[in-house]
Structure 1
Amino acid sequence: MALTVAVLAVSSSAPLIAFAAAPALAIAFWRNGLAALVLTPITLGPRRAEVRRAAAGPAGILCVLAGLALALHFATWMPSVQLGSVATATALVATQPVWQGLIAAAQGRRPSAAGWTGIGLAVAGAAWATGADVGVSGQAVLADVLALLGAVAAAVYTALGERARTRLSTTTYTWICYGTCAVVLLAVCLLFGVDLTGYDSRTWAAILAIVAGAQLLGHSMFNYALQHTSATTVSVLILLEVPGAAFLAWWWLGQVPRAGSLPGLALLLTGVAVFLVGAARVVRTESLSS
């Protein structure tokens, strides 16, 4: 249920970013800063003791590192949405499971053969569905590179979150993580003179929608799920954001998906199904052996 809500919520992120008439870095700051502000009464109230324990132990360090990785993710992927197309940026950031699988393998938790097959099919489907902008223009190439860097940063963020969530509640983890991310992005915005205010009402409405949907419902639900499933599984399910974002971009922004992208979307969904079936078999086998 949490993952379903998260996928639906984050699917709105890229279209809203493209719609908002504000710098991508500013949107990234506001979505994290406002989300941390909403969580503050809880973390400094009922969760105050847990926050103190986190600040004095390794869990707090993991949260801060996750926040730094999240800041890098937003600082690269969100500009790519405004420089290129919603569908292409979403597809390239969807290579996250590849990096997530490599991180898991480096930690000694290699995905099964079915898992790797599912990852390969899903990522290939994402690329097929949207295509890349390499060779179209210099700006399009920059957008592609930023989206790929965003995918790597997202994988690191999710891997760190998986470790931190074994020791902290979702609220405390996300508050520290979002707060760290907001502070870093604020410093970057001030350093480069990014305008943080002066937007029209529709832009502020889009930012608030991103905070409520993609940030608090989307990212927070993914963080909650990390306590119950692996980072690699979460990363693969995030791929479902690709068809969701493509549909919203078509319905709302008039970015009509190519007819040739439809087989790619089908391949993406097939890859997710293959991965989940493989993961279920591994869990069932481990349960029987124990």
Structure 2
Amino acid sequence: MHRPALDPAATLALVVAVLAVSTSGPLIAFAAAAPALAIAFYRNALAVGVLGPISLIRNRHEYANLGRREAVFCVLAGVALAAHFAAWMPSIRFTTVAASTALVATQPVWQGLISVAQGRKLRTVTWAGIGVAVLGAALATGADFGVSSRAVLGDLLALVGAVMAAAYTALGERARVTLSTTTYTTICYGVCAVLLLIICLASGQRLGGYPGSSWLAILGLVAGAQLLGHTMFNYALRRVSATTISVLILLEVPGAATIAWLWLGQVPPVESLPGLALLVVGVAIVVLGGAQAGRRERARARDLETAALP
């Protein structure tokens, strides 16, 4: 898939998205009185409530001319996003937070494999950056994998969460080829919210009766992690590959640690600092390597155009 050069708007969107998703962990911890799956439902449902009217007014023609291919990708992306939330959030109750976080951080590996399955050839520098970033995430979270059957179940759920997150990003990349950001995200978040509501009702999750602080945290998640986080990543998918996006999302680990330190007083363990530094290095390798390759591709395209001139 050919992409135009990364412009300042897309760069700004990526910076905002990383900062926004970094607030997710601290806000979920602050809203401890609300079940995790209920939080996931509300952040998607309320986001649809904000984006839906805007999208329907501005993009009526897109909905009227929505093709089967685009609709299928949007729906499947919503299913994958719901599966990600439904698998990863409960995993923390079965295994350690460190093990769950480390396994979810393998998303770029699955993203790379999906890209290969789609017929793309990833550059060696991309694989190197993915490996360094995932290793850094594992070291930063102090991965401590359990050996009990309960812990193994949690590990498997977290791994499924990583695969589903990769599938969500890959499907979104396909849908965003022709659809606007608001149309895609409205449909995707809507499908995700409906599925999460069904899961919450079927599993008896409490959907109300939370203290005011929990509701404020949920609203913060909607405004930050969902609208400014996921939506800005979706916006950038037209100019940045799904693999690069998945690696950039790993910056949530040091971002969340910093916010938790400044806001909640949770000082990051000294042992995690080398891992955080390694994670940032891995992200830099992927991003800078991709930018350099993009410049070479554009230079070759200009040379071919020049050679074709009479």
TM tier relative to shorter chain = over 0.9
User: Within 5 A, what are the aligned runs for 1:192-231?
Assistant: 192-231=203-242
**Residue from 33, 40, 60 that aligns with 2:52:** 40
Q: Which amino acid aligns with 1:39?
A: L
Instruction: Write the distance in 1 (CA, Å) between the matches of 2:215 and 2:14.
Output: 27
**Residue from 1, 22, 29 that aligns with 2:34:** 22
* SS of residue paired to 1:22: coil
1:9 to 2:53 alignment:
no
2:62 corresponds in structure 1 to 50
**Residue from 288, 293, 298 that aligns with 1:282:** 293
Confirm or deny: 8 A CA contact 1:250 1:256 kept in the other structure. yes
Confirm or deny: 8 A CA contact 1:43 1:51 kept in the other structure. no
1:234 to 2:258 alignment:
no
Unaligned runs of 5+ in 1: none
Compute the RMSD of aligned alpha carbons: 1.9
1:72 corresponds in structure 2 to 83
2:4 corresponds in structure 1 to none
1:93 to 2:93 alignment:
no
Distance 1:32 1:45, change over 3 A: same
Unaligned runs of 5+ in 2: 1-11, 302-310
* SS of residue paired to 2:143: coil
* Aligned-pair CA distance for 1:148: 2.1
Partner deviation per Cα, 1:87-114 (whole Å, 9 max, x = no partner): 6544432211100000011111121011
* Aligned-pair CA distance for 1:232: 0.6
1:31 corresponds in structure 2 to 43
Partner deviation per Cα, 1:221-260 (whole Å, 9 max, x = no partner): 0000001111011111111111011222333344432211
1:146 to 2:157 alignment:
yes
Quick check: 191-200 or 172-181, which moved more?
191-200
Partner deviation per Cα, 1:170-209 (whole Å, 9 max, x = no partner): 0000000000000001111111111111111011111110
1:186 corresponds in structure 2 to 197
Confirm or deny: 8 A CA contact 2:96 2:146 kept in the other structure. no
1:273 to 2:284 alignment:
yes
2:308 corresponds in structure 1 to none
Q: Which amino acid aligns with 1:236?
A: V
User: Within 5 A, what are the aligned runs for 1:170-181?
Assistant: 170-181=181-192
Q: Which amino acid aligns with 1:203?
A: S
1:261 to 2:272 alignment:
yes
Q: Which amino acid aligns with 2:250?
A: L
TM-score by structure 2 length?
A: 0.88
Distance 1:142 1:12, change over 3 A: farther
Instruction: Write the distance in 1 (CA, Å) between the matches of 2:98 and 2:16.
Output: 20
Instruction: Write the distance in 1 (CA, Å) between the matches of 2:297 and 2:137.
Output: 31
Confirm or deny: 8 A CA contact 2:47 2:226 kept in the other structure. yes
Q: Which amino acid aligns with 1:131?
A: G
Alignment size in residue pairs: 289
Larger Rg: 2
Partner deviation per Cα, 1:17-41 (whole Å, 9 max, x = no partner): 1221111111111000000011121
Distance 1:268 1:144, change over 3 A: same
* Aligned-pair CA distance for 1:135: 2.6
Instruction: Write the distance in 1 (CA, Å) between the matches of 2:25 and 2:154.
Output: 13
1:243 corresponds in structure 2 to 254
Instruction: Write the distance in 1 (CA, Å) between the matches of 2:251 and 2:258.
Output: 11
* Aligned-pair CA distance for 1:77: 2.0
Instruction: Write the distance in 2 (CA, Å) between the matches of 1:17 and 1:136.
Output: 27
TM-score by structure 1 length?
A: 0.93
* Aligned-pair CA distance for 1:284: 2.0
* SS of residue paired to 1:131: coil
Instruction: Write the distance in 1 (CA, Å) between the matches of 2:116 and 2:202.
Output: 37
Distance 1:86 1:30, change over 3 A: same
Distance 1:137 1:199, change over 3 A: farther
1:61 to 2:72 alignment:
yes
Confirm or deny: 8 A CA contact 1:66 1:157 kept in the other structure. yes
